[in-house]
Structure 1
Amino acid sequence: MFRRTATSLKNLLAAVLLLGLALVVAEVGLGWLAPPKPPAVTSQADAAVQRLLVPSATRHHELKRSARLRMLGGPEFKTSSLGLRQTPDSRTGRNALRVLFLGDETVLSARVGSKESLPGRLEQFLERATQRQVHVINGGIPGYSPLLSWLAFRHELHRLEPDLVILHFGMNDVTDDAIYRRRLVSGEHATVCANPLLDEFADGTGPLVRHVRDSALARTALQGLNAEAELRSLAEQYQWTLGNADGLKLRIQHAIGPLRRFANAAKKQDFSLLVTTSPVPWQVTGSESFSDLANQLPDTQWPVAETLPSQILNAACRQYEVELCDPANAFRSFEQADRLYSPASVELSAYGNALYAREIAAKILKTSQFAALFESTGVATVSDQSLSHPSGKH
């Protein structure tokens, strides 16, 4: 009896040792074949910009503060103590008009130098037209939606005391808003959107549990079950631009909701507000120069005739008594529309930044409430000729 029990225990111990050895080999093998990747700070921004970002407890994520950053293939730039991209020759004099430009990666323009960025171009056009010092503050953060821009302004950026706030509404912001709104928490004194990565950092688990959770085996087993959904397909991200807004009514209402908050703040804090938007390639031109994008939108006829986004934004801005700059017609009439975008991308090129900035500047200078800020004696115009050879990459 004793010998039989000992044999059983010996076999059990051998099985446990073999299982342990197999797990060790599997862990080492998976760790070598699939080394751990840094967790994505946000699922709504490309992998190329994740290294620039850190989680936030109030606005989901932000640029690293007081840092030198560089996106792959782009120039190095510095960030301020507020986590905003700095311009080397920023105007800080008392007489400089302060314009805060909020938005996502379109506004940040991390792939080009500060002078070729969207805020940089706008600053040049406004100064040239008004002969006045203008400081356009780059408030672009990759993956942002108007909701996160509002939280950033509400919690910190209002302290910059801008004379004019420009809010860029991207064509993918309806999808972005739906992702971030799941994390939105409204308290008695503030509304915040905490990044789920902060939950992991502060979950109170012991070192053994964290080691098991972070192992290669656990990563493989839980692959796809991350705290936030992976970046959607192109068609899902931009669904409302494709003439198919079925089931999106509530999402669209939520996405444009922050416009009302900005409008109310503008009245209380005495700053002017302008909402802007820019079209994506399939709203502008044919698919010949965008085969990669066209393959991701197989059932889309380029250019899309549907103008639903423009109609909705126009209606919302009229309701909230806010001016809107929609340069879609200027983009469509540009002779080489394909050059307005980076290759195989919805991202604006240096040409696109220049055209978008030109249209915003024209809107500002032709609208009395904005033009009065500059005390200009006249309105200068910027012709297509100035866009023919923009400096920087395109």
Structure 2
Amino acid sequence: MTNKNKAILFHGILIVLLGMFFFFLIFTLEMILSFFVVKPDDIYSRHFRLNHVFKPNKPDDPLRIHYNSKGFIEDYEVSIHKPSRTCRIFYVGDSFVAGTALVYHHQSLPALVEQKLHDRYPDVRLEIINAGVSSYSPILYYILIRYYLLNYDPDVIVLNIDMTDVDDDYKYRHGNFIEDEYGNPWGVPGIGIYGVPFLDTHYGIIQATKSLKIHLFLYRYSNIYRFLLHLFRHQIDRNIRQKINSQNSVYIKRWQWCTDEWDETTSGNVNYSMGIVRRIIHLCRDHGVDVVLTGVPHYQQFIKEDSGSRCWSARPHRVLEELAQEENIHYIDSYGFLKPHILNTKQSEFYLPDDMHFNEQGNQLWAQAHYKFFNDHKTEFFNEEKYK
């Protein structure tokens, strides 16, 4: 063997050994950091029509929230055939309704309302089913109700419109959105986060670039990457903010319909989403199902800026109430009920400190607003003579 061949062999072996060393080093670091770095929740499955659904799990799985085989947040299987003389109510909404930010699913809004009503009317046969799914919005609410929930013969559907819903509708209808021949939502096939054209960020809806998709891939599968993100989170967040602002890449700013004045784009997006809500109401009416409409109050709608004006406007709640009046359906004024309790309080009293969702105490207060509504309208929805 010549000296040249020996050198080539030596360098080849060296490269292989270095590759094995770095592979072993990365593997070891990944294993060690897996004990210290929180892994993102893997609770969703792609769906050909609903975009994403909760993965079913077993009651004895060590998880906070139980998802049955249909994706409902219940610890029992809901039968297609409704038991006789039973009032069946579905709660439809996003993560606020699902309660995924809470510790256990029995602390969710639907579970609390059901417990309060069972305690008040023990002789009434009542089912309140949690059909909330994180990041759902009117487009997916319509699809969920039309193609799935109506098969369960519901008596009432409580439709909870969140302040994020207009933004989410924008993402879905500019993605893999399919309409039927009448312009009704038919499906939003799940293509995974790496195939979507837009991403929802703290700053608004932005284009899903290749670099962002690589970031999401590493965030999902690498403990080392998540550790580095946590270590340098302030610098990274500042760089991302500067990059987004410099590129002017925000298509839709978040929370734009939570302002008193809307530009043309916001008005168009709101009108579209409210149009889907009307389609839901008409669909349910055609099937003899009552719809109760309500909005999800956010903390920023209760607090004031230094100027004395609200950080966020309550205009979305007024829009929903007016829509309910026009369609002659019931409306739960959750914002009005919560306002005297939350006005000028600290966020941590009723909401999670670093999150937009209610904490356990906030969910209890929110559930009280819904319980009061049903208690005030008991003869219309579940009188004891009909459902005893």
Taking structure 2 as the reference length, the TM-score comes to 0.68
Deviations 1:49-96 (A, max 9, x none): 74111111101100013556989xxx5333222111114698975333
- Structure 2 gaps of 5+ residues are 31-37, 196-208, 220-239, 242-249
Q: RMSD of the TM alignment (CA)?
A: 4.4
The corresponding residue for 2:280 is 262
Partners of 2:104 and 2:162 in 1: CA distance: 21
Would you say 1:347 and 2:357 are equivalent positions?
yes
Matches for 1:1-394 after TM superposition, within 5 Å? 50-67=41-58, 76-87=64-75, 93-110=83-100, 111-131=102-122, 132-181=124-173, 182-188=175-181, 191-197=186-192, 222-225=210-213, 236-246=253-263, 247-285=265-303, 303-304=310-311, 306-334=313-341, 338=347, 339-367=349-377, 371-376=379-384
What CA distance in whole angstroms lies between the structure 2 residues aligned with 1:343 and 1:326? 24
Q: How far has the Cα of 1:320 moved from its partner?
A: 2.7
Structure 1 alignment gaps of length 5 or more: 1-9, 36-46, 201-220, 288-298, 378-394
Letter in 2 for 1:343: P
Q: Distance in 1 between matches of 2:179 and 2:60?
A: 32
Q: Once the 2 structures are TM-superposed, how far is the Cα of residue 359 of structure 1 from its aligned partner?
A: 1.1
Match for residue 202 of structure 2?
none
Contact (CA 8 Å) 2:194, 2:213: kept in 1 or not? no
Residue 105 of structure 1 aligns with an amino acid whose one-letter code is S
Other structure's SS at 1:197 match? coil
Distance 2:169 2:145 in 1: 16
The offset of 1:142, in angstroms, is 0.9
The alpha carbon displacement at 1:244 in A equals 5.0
Match in the other structure for 2:237 = none
Determine the structure 2 residue equivalent to 1:41.
none
Provide the C-alpha distance between the structure 2 equivalents of 1:30 and 1:319, rounded to a whole number of angstroms. 65
Query: Counterpart of 1:51 in 2: which secondary structure?
Result: coil
Counterparts of 1:302 and 1:120, CA distance in 2: 35
Q: Which amino acid aligns with 2:379?
A: A
Q: d(CA) in 1 for partners of 2:193 and 2:384? A: 48
| AA matched with 1:185 | I
Shift of 1:263: 1.0
8 A Cα contact 1:118 1:357, kept in partner? yes
Other-structure match for 2:34: none
Instruction: Please say if residues 97 and 160 of structure 2, whose CA atoms lie closer than 8 Å, have aligned partners that are also in contact.
Output: yes
Letter in 1 for 2:302: V
In structure 1, C-alpha distance between the alignment counterparts of 2:119 and 2:149, rounded to whole Å: 27
Instruction: Please tell me the residue identity of whatever aligns with 2:267.
Output: K
Q: Which amino acid aligns with 2:119?
A: R
What is the CA distance between 1:281 and its match in structure 2?
0.8
Deviations 1:269-323 (A, max 9, x none): 1111101112111111358xxxxxxxxxxx9967437332122212222333332
Q: Report the alpha carbon displacement of residue 185 of structure 1 after superposing the two structures with TM.
A: 1.0
Aligned residues of 1:196 and 1:227 also touching (Cα < 8 A) = no
Shift of 1:165: 0.4
The residue aligned with 1:386 is: none
- Distance in 2 (CA, whole Å) between partners of 1:245 and 1:345 is 25
Checking the alignment, whether the CA contact within 8 Å between 1:106 and 1:347 is kept in structure 2 is yes
- The amino acid that maps onto 1:184 is F
What fraction of aligned residue pairs are identical, expressed as a percent?
A: 18
1:352-381 CA-partner distances (Å, limit 9, x unpaired): 2112111122223334xx63221159xxxx
User: What is the total number of aligned residue pairs between the two structures?
Assistant: 323
TM-score of the two chains, using structure 1 as the length reference: 0.67
SS of alignment partner, residue 78 of structure 1: coil
Q: Is the 8 A contact 2:304 2:311 kept in 1?
A: no
Change over 3 Å in CA distance of 1:117–1:29 after alignment to 2: same
CA contact (8 A) 1:341 1:348 kept: yes
